[in-house]
Chain A
C-alpha cells in the first residue's frame, strides 16, 4: 500500500492465559474505511486500545504515518477515538466536550470556535452547544462523541461500536452519516463492530477476528463471496451448513456425500477424497428450480422479510434448508421444491476434529 497511515506488525497481547491479539499484521490506507468484525471477546477492543496507546502490546510494532508509536503515550499519538458508551465528560457542556482535544493542544480561542462551528455543522449539533450531556438524547450524545473524535482532524479515527447503543432507525441514519464524514475528511477510520451488516454497509475493507487472530482481511466483497476459512464462511451472511465425507475432488470442486445427497462446492484446506468436510452455502445463493436439482423437498414455511423472503424447505429426512429470494406470491406451503446452486459459490472446508 502506497499511502499507509496505520501499520501493525506482529502485534501480540496476552491477558494471562487469554490471547487477546495473536500475531496481527494489518495496514490501513489514507482514505480507507476499515471495519474490524468479530464475535464478542475476539479482541477487537483490545486492538483499538493498543492502537490508541491505552494498552501496550507484548510484542510487535505500531506505526502511524510512518512513525513508530509503539512506546508513545496516548496523548502523543494524535489520533481520535469514539468510545462504545460515548463517555462524554458529564461536567462539561457539549461545546466544551467537543473542544476538549483542541484545548489540550493549546489552540487559540478563535481556532476552537471555528472548528466547533465546522464540526457541529458536520454532525448536525447546531443549537445544542450549551447543553450538558445529560440533557441529550442517545443519538445526540453519539454525535457529540463523534464530533469530539473529529474536531482536531486527527490522522486516524478509531471507533468502537459507536452505534451499538442506538435503535435501528437511528443506526441506519448514522451509518450513512459516518461514512459521509469519512469521505469528507479523507482520513482512515478503523471501525469495530460485531454487526456484519454495519460492517458491510460502511467499509471498504474488513478484517474478521476470532480469538485474537485475524481470520481474513480483504475487500468486503471478497470476504463475503470467497471466504478463506470455515469460520469466515460460517460467520458472514446466513449460510446453510452440510457436513459429510468427500467422495471426489475435481478441478477444485469437491463432491460431498451428505446423508445420501450429493453436494458440490469449492474445496479448501486441501480436501482429499475420504476427508470429513463441512460445506457452507449462503441462503441467497441457492436457486429454486422447476425440476431436478441436487436437493428436493417440500416448502414448510415462508418468512416474509419485506424486500426478500426466507423459504424453509424440509428434505423429508428431517433436515431443513433456508433459501432466500424475492418474495413470490405463487408459492404455497407444501409445494415441492427443487434446489441447486453453482458449486463455485459454495465452499467446503475440513471439518473441525473430523477424521482424515
Chain B
C-alpha cells in the first residue's frame, strides 16, 4: 500500500511540478498584476480595482468582449454542425481507413498557424483566388470575404474544426451503432434516429468539442489580425496590444483574468450538461463511466 503510494507520487510528481511552474505560477502572477497599475512601462504594486472597473464599464472593452463572445459562439456552432457528419461518417463507414481519414481532417495542422492564415488570405482576400476569379469574369468581388468578421469566422472555423471532429469521433468510437438499427426498426427515420439516440448519447463529445473550440476562439488574435481587417479586431487583439505597443501590462492582466473567468464559466456549463447525462447512468461500452 505505502509503496504503491510512493510510486504514485513519483509518477505524478513530474507532471504536477510542470503544471505548477508553467501554468499555476504565471496565472497567479497575472492575477496579482491585474490588481496593480502600470506607469511608463513599469508595474507599480499599489493594489486597486481600476483595471477591472475600466474593462467592465468602458464600452470599448465591452464591445470587443461581446464581439469575441459572439465570434466564439458562432464558430463553435459552425464547427459543431460541420464536424458531426464528418465524424459520423468516419466512425461509421471509415472501415480500416478510419485513422487515415481522421488524420486527413487535421492536415491543416501540418503547417504553422501563420502559414495557414496567410493561405486563407490567398483565397479570401481582394487579390485572393475567389475574388480574382470573379473579377476576371467581370463580377464584383465579394466584399464580405475581404477583411471582415466573416473572413475571420471562416478562418477560425478552418483552424479549430479538427478538434471538434476529433472530440465527436472519439465519442462515437464508444457508441453502439446497432442502437440506430433498433430505432429504425421501431419506426424512426434516419434524422429522427439521430436526434433521439446518437445526439443524446454523444453529448459529451459535442460538449468537449465546443470547449476545445470556444475557449481558444475567445482568446484568439492572429486570425483576426490577418483576415479581419482594420475593423475586425477581437478582444484577443486588444489584449495583445496591452502587452505590446501600449505597455499597459496591468490592464492586460485584468483582461486576461476576465477571459480566464469566462472560460471557467463555459467549462462549468458544459460540465453541467454532461452531468445531466451521467445522472441517467449512461455508461460507455465496457462499462466505464462518462
Contacts and interface: CB of A to CB of B under 8 A. Distances in A.
Nearest to A100: B186
A144 interface: no
A171 B185 CA distance: 25
B201 interface: yes
A148 B178 CA distance: 16
B56 interface: no
B184 A83 contact: no
B179 A87 contact: yes
A90 B181 CA distance: 15
A52 B186 contact: no
Given A87-B176, A91-B201, A105-B187, A74 B281 contact: no
Given A74-B181, A87-B178, A91-B201, A104 B187 contact: yes
Contact of B185 (A81, A91, A134): A81
A134 B280 CA distance: 9
Summarize B's interface: helix, strand, loop or mixed: helix
Contacts of B192: 104
B277 A54 contact: no
A132 B182 CA distance: 17
A344 interface: no
B184 A54 contact: yes
A139 B186 CA distance: 21
Contacts of A152: 186-187
Interface string A74-94: 110111110100010111100
Contacts of B282: 90-91, 134
A89 B179 contact: yes
A53 interface: yes
Interface string A42-59: 000000000011100000
Interface string B217-233: 00000000000000000
B258 interface: no
A73 to B, nearest CB: 7
A90 B282 CA distance: 6
Given A87-B178, A104-B192, A132 B280 contact: yes
Contact of A74 (B179, B184, B280): B184
Interface residues of A, number: 26
- Counting contact residues on chain B (CB < 8 A from A), the size range is 20 to 34
A304 B172 CA distance: 52
A73 B197 contact: no
A90 B280 contact: yes
Nearest to A86: B182
A15 to B, nearest CB: 15
Contacts of B184: 53-54, 73-75
B187 A101 contact: yes
B272 interface: no
A83 B180 CA distance: 12
A105 B185 CA distance: 12
B186 A91 contact: no
A6 to B, nearest CB: 15
A90 B185 contact: no
Nearest to A55: B181
B283 interface: yes
A257 B196 CA distance: 66
A14 interface: no
B185 A75 contact: yes
Contact of B277 (A73, A77, A91, A134): A91
A135 interface: yes
A78 B189 CA distance: 13
B132 interface: no
Interface string A108-152: 000000000000000000000000101100000000000010001
A100 B192 CA distance: 11
A53 B201 contact: no
Contacts of A90: 201, 280-283
B183 interface: yes
B200 interface: yes
Interface string B165-191: 000000000001011011111111100
A87 B196 CA distance: 14
A100 B183 contact: yes
Contacts of B280: 90-92, 132
Contacts of A104: 183, 186-188, 192
B284 to A, nearest CB: 9
A79 B183 contact: no
Contacts of A92: 280
B283 A53 contact: no
A176 to B, nearest CB: 26
Contacts of A89: 179, 182-183, 196-197
A132 B281 CA distance: 7
Contacts of A78: 187
Contacts of A135: 281
A80 B197 CA distance: 18
Contacts of A73: 184
A148 B186 contact: yes
Given A90-B281, A134-B283, A75 B176 contact: no
Given A104-B187, A132-B280, 16 more contacts: A52-B185, A53-B185, A74-B181, A74-B184, A75-B187, A80-B186, A81-B182, A81-B186, A83-B178, A90-B201, A91-B277, A91-B282, A104-B183, A134-B283, A148-B186, A152-B186
21 contacts: A52-B185, A54-B181, A54-B184, A74-B184, A74-B185, A75-B187, A75-B189, A77-B185, A79-B185, A81-B185, A87-B176, A90-B280, A90-B282, A90-B283, A101-B186, A104-B183, A132-B280, A132-B281, A134-B281, A134-B283, A135-B281
